[in-house]
Amino acid sequence: MNEPVAHRDFVRQIVEDDLRTGKWDGRIHTRFPPEPNGYLHIGHAKSICLNFGIAAEYGGKCNLRFDDTNPEKEDTEYVDSIMEDVRWLGFDWEDRLFYASDYFEQLYQWAETLIRLEKAYVCSLTLDEIRAGRGTPTEPGIASPWRSRTVDENLDLFRRMRAGEFPDGAHVLRAKIDMGHPHMLLRDPIMYRIRHAEHHRTGNQWCIYPTYDYAHGQSDSIEQITHSICTLEFENHRPLYDWYCQALGIHHPQQIEFNRLNLTYTMMSKRRLLELVKGNYVRGWDDPRIPTLRGLRRRGYTPEAIRAFCASVGVTKHNATMDMGVLENHIREDLNKRAERRMAVLDPVKVIITNYPEGQSEELPAVNNPEDAAAGTRSVPFSRELWIERDDFMVDPPKKFFRLAPGREVRLRWAYFITCTHIVQDSQGQVQEIHCTYDPATKGGDAPDGRKVKATLHWVSVPHAVTAEVRLYDHLFRTEDPDDVADPALDWKSNLNPNSLHTVSSAKLEPALGQAPQGARFQFERLGYFCVDADSTPERPVFNRTVTLKDQWAKEQVKS
């Protein structure tokens, strides 16, 4: 398939312009800078694809850098999972793995430089006093009484802060900018705070930690980044990013902000995802219902599908919410070409072929993937008693129902035409058995006389069937926007879909599925794409439904 002529998003346009004008001497260097305080989700995938993608497309490099300046929230557990997920997605930072904490000493020295330049000072106000002194958007802040400390005094205090002489919160280091600035972030922002906390990498070496604003641009600078690509909420921070680089007179990358990814029926907030996991609303960070990369992986998503999706979403400067259906289409498109077909019955009802000899069975060849001749064939056992899907039969079918009904003939995939002759119902009217006759001349599924049937059903031989657990997933939330709550007393959690997981405990599978290894992906014919779950064992196979197939009949039912 030909790649469509990719139009350039505005970030790539900037990169191309810079290449053309020689702005960075033809060098392109980006970075993906996650904070190790949570698991990566599909929103991060967009950023990863953008940063690593641009580097690859323009002959540049992309670093992986952990933005670990807040010891209280960060952990190696997250570092490890992030590296694993970036690799799984298909990207390689080679030897360029960095940590903002690697730069603590340099950052500290630069802070002293700023103090000497009288562009930073130690402020001994409390948190509340600082907040109050900052003013409001409409009124200017008031200068801290400590704003005019001498260079020597500031240096002495700052060094003693580092040496651990003060408790948490006793002092902070602030940039001396402008307390009357209309941009609140520029009203003497905090550069360092005292935190007697153990850092996941530097241990107890430090008790003062730089803030994001003070650390990020300089980290980019140290790594000689050219384009510092981040999400829209950092737009406000760009003046500060620029201020530090200029004040220090160091390499000054260009910060460019793009829109983060939003998807319907789910949410990307790390804080909320953490709440779902800790509150046991889901089964962990890899729960197939949440949009973490691990969740999607367990759900059966391929890195290729996620990358294709990320390439298709817009990179712009305005907030947008992608339809979950677009993501689903990408995995369908990928798996349609790659996943072998199998037959599985999720809600079984028994069919008895009354003219097929009792005790007899035969092996019938079945095509593994009509989209890929190289996938070959397998054989499936056929016998007198079969399972078919309960909703593939109706006693009194409406006009547009093409499947099995009394007196009607349909095809069993790769097997025979069968005609329903009789049904057995229980006292509630529930169908117990469907009695059919088969036409031996239609073996393989073609009628020599050329007669047509309107439906082809999937089926599984009763004596050969493997019983499995199948987990059917639906949207995490029942509303497109989780925040769409009518009652102000309720929060987003009230929109959680109570039916996001439906477990089928005894689905009937064709025997070939019994040996499938964990992670293997299949299309269950006419149902959807499924993969073998991590909980699966040979004794008790467990499958996850990745996504359903498009379903014209389901649409038809919704209409009526």
Partner RNA sequence: AACCCGGUAGUGUAAUGGUAACACAACAGAUUUUGGUUCUGUUUUUCCAGGUUCGAGUCCUGGCCGGGUUACCA
Q: Residues 6 or more apart from 383 whose CB is under 8 A from it?
A: 356, 360, 361, 362, 461, 462, 463, 464
Q: HEC states along 53-99?
A: HHHHHCCCEEEEEECCCCCCCCCHHHHHHHHHHHHHHCCCCCCCEEE
Question: For residues 351 and 386, is the Cβ–Cβ distance under 8 A?
Answer: yes
Question: For residues 549 and 332, is the Cβ–Cβ distance under 8 A?
Answer: yes
Task: Kindly identify the residues of this chain, within the stretch 262-291, that bind RNA according to CB under 7 A.
Answer: none
Among 59, 169, 376, 519, binds RNA (CB under 7 A): 169
Least distance (Å) from RNA to the CB of residue 251?
A: 20
Least distance (Å) from RNA to the CB of residue 312?
A: 7
As beta bridge partners, residue 31 has: 63
Give the residue among 283, 269, 510 at the shortest CA–CA distance from 413: 510
Whichever of 16 and 153 has its CB closer to RNA, that residue is 16
Give the residue among 43, 88, 44, 49 at the shortest CA–CA distance from 66: 44
Least distance (Å) from RNA to the CB of residue 394?
A: 9
- Distance between CA atoms of 466 and 463, rounded to whole angstroms? 9
Among 116, 502, 540, 550, binds RNA (CB under 7 A): 550
- Distance between CA atoms of 445 and 451, rounded to whole angstroms? 11
Tell whether residue 14 is a contact of RNA (CB under 7 A): no
As beta bridge partners, residue 351 has: 386, 434
- Distance between CA atoms of 327 and 285, rounded to whole angstroms? 20
Whichever of 15 and 287 has its CB closer to RNA, that residue is 15
Retrieve residue 544's tokens.
Answer: 């996850």
Among 237, 298, 471, 521, binds RNA (CB under 7 A): 237
Whichever of 78 and 473 has its CB closer to RNA, that residue is 78
Task: Single out the segment in contact with RNA by CB under 7 A; choices: 3-11, 159-167, 278-286, 294-302.
Answer: 3-11
Retrieve residue 519's tokens.
Answer: 């992670």
Whichever of 206 and 287 has its CB closer to RNA, that residue is 206
Tell whether residue 424 is a contact of RNA (CB under 7 A): no
Whichever of 250 and 367 has its CB closer to RNA, that residue is 367
Question: For residues 35 and 73, is the Cβ–Cβ distance under 8 A?
Answer: yes
Among 90, 284, 314, 514, binds RNA (CB under 7 A): 314
Task: Kindly identify the residues of this chain, within the stretch 145-164, that bind RNA according to CB under 7 A.
Answer: none
Among 26, 164, 180, 182, binds RNA (CB under 7 A): 182
Task: Single out the segment in contact with RNA by CB under 7 A; choices: 114-122, 146-154, 233-241, 514-522.
Answer: 233-241
Tell whether residue 336 is a contact of RNA (CB under 7 A): yes
Among 322, 501, 520, 542, binds RNA (CB under 7 A): 322
Tell whether residue 552 is a contact of RNA (CB under 7 A): yes
Tell whether residue 21 is a contact of RNA (CB under 7 A): no
The β-bridge relationship of strands 528-532 and 542-548 is antiparallel
Tell whether residue 422 is a contact of RNA (CB under 7 A): no
Task: Kindly identify the residues of this chain, within the stretch 462-521, that bind RNA according to CB under 7 A.
Answer: none
- Distance between CA atoms of 70 and 21, rounded to whole angstroms? 38
The helix/strand count (H/E) of the chain reads as: 13, 27
Question: For residues 46 and 330, is the Cβ–Cβ distance under 8 A?
Answer: no
Among 86, 525, 543, 545, binds RNA (CB under 7 A): 525
Q: Is 129 a catalytic residue?
A: no
Among 88, 212, 281, 492, binds RNA (CB under 7 A): 212
Task: Kindly identify the residues of this chain, within the stretch 288-307, that bind RNA according to CB under 7 A.
Answer: none
Provide the Cα torsion 234, 237, 241, 247; round to 10°: 180
As beta bridge partners, residue 548 has: 528
Task: Single out the segment in contact with RNA by CB under 7 A; choices: 48-56, 68-76, 242-250, 494-502.
Answer: 68-76
Tell whether residue 341 is a contact of RNA (CB under 7 A): yes
Whichever of 20 and 358 has its CB closer to RNA, that residue is 20
- Single out the catalytic residue among 35, 304, 433, 469: 35
Tell whether residue 88 is a contact of RNA (CB under 7 A): no
- Single out the catalytic residue among 149, 270, 297, 508: 270
Q: Is 493 a catalytic residue?
A: no
Question: For residues 63 and 223, is the Cβ–Cβ distance under 8 A?
Answer: yes
Among 381, 445, 511, 514, binds RNA (CB under 7 A): 445
Question: For residues 190 and 204, is the Cβ–Cβ distance under 8 A?
Answer: no
Least distance (Å) from RNA to the CB of residue 539?
A: 28
Whichever of 210 and 288 has its CB closer to RNA, that residue is 210
Whichever of 176 and 287 has its CB closer to RNA, that residue is 176
As beta bridge partners, residue 203 has: 199
Among 444, 463, 519, 538, binds RNA (CB under 7 A): 444
Tell whether residue 456 is a contact of RNA (CB under 7 A): yes
As beta bridge partners, residue 528 has: 524, 548
Give the residue among 546, 532, 513 at the shortest CA–CA distance from 344: 513
Q: Is 35 a catalytic residue?
A: yes
- Distance between CA atoms of 411 and 440, rounded to whole angstroms? 12
Among 30, 255, 523, 536, binds RNA (CB under 7 A): 523
- Distance between CA atoms of 68 and 35, rounded to whole angstroms? 6
Task: Single out the segment in contact with RNA by CB under 7 A; choices: 143-151, 210-218, 292-300, 508-516.
Answer: 210-218
Angle CA 267–270–276, to nearest 5: 70
Longest Cα–Cα distance in the chain:
102
Among 23, 27, 73, 119, binds RNA (CB under 7 A): 73
Task: Single out the segment in contact with RNA by CB under 7 A; choices: 274-282, 301-309, 368-376, 509-517.
Answer: 368-376
Task: Kindly identify the residues of this chain, within the stretch 395-414, that bind RNA according to CB under 7 A.
Answer: 400-403, 411, 413-414
Tell whether residue 183 is a contact of RNA (CB under 7 A): yes
Catalytic residue ranges: 35, 260, 270
